[in-house]
Amino acid sequence: MRLKFLAVLALAATPLFANPALFSRYEAVRQGLLKNSLKDVHTNAKKLADEATQGKNEEIAKAADAVAKSADLKVAREAFGTLSDEMIKIRNAAEGNDRPGIAYCPMAKKSWLQSKDVAIANPYEPAMKECGMWKAR
């Protein structure tokens, strides 16, 4: 019984970011912003909110829900900034080399997560998608 309790405790202590589906959902939201597709942003942010709710991460769920309910892309990008801040906290709490990188847009003064293996793709400035720099890789 004690072993079962320790296993459950270990799973609960694992950062939610260790769940690859969480980053996958977040990345799908970012890709929607890159394509200027409010429909894709809404759909994927809702899925992320559901995933975070199941994982009992209310901050991510709340931030993703705000993106999912955004009236337009400008509002969605603002809400994505808050979502990114929450995802970065989880990324920073996780260990290992498989964490995504943290990129930063000096014009929007906002960060986001993305794969370290691809070129910067800024979700905040649609006219300047290549604008940004790596803060952490």
Angle of helix 38-54 versus helix 73-93 axis, rounded to 10: 30
For residue 60, the one-letter residue type is: I
- Write the CA distances from 32 to 12, 21, 36, 67, 82, integer angstroms: 31, 16, 6, 11, 16
Residue 4 has pLDDT above 70, yes or no: no
**DSSP states of 3-25:** HHHHHHHHHHHS-GGGSHHHHHH
| Mean pLDDT, rounded, for 26-55 | 97
The C-alpha atoms of residue 70 and residue 123 are separated, in whole angstroms, by 15
The 10s digit of each residue's pLDDT in 69-119 is 999 999 999 999 999 999 999 999 988 888 999 999 999 999 999 999 999
At 133, phi and psi to the nearest 5? Answer: -150, 160
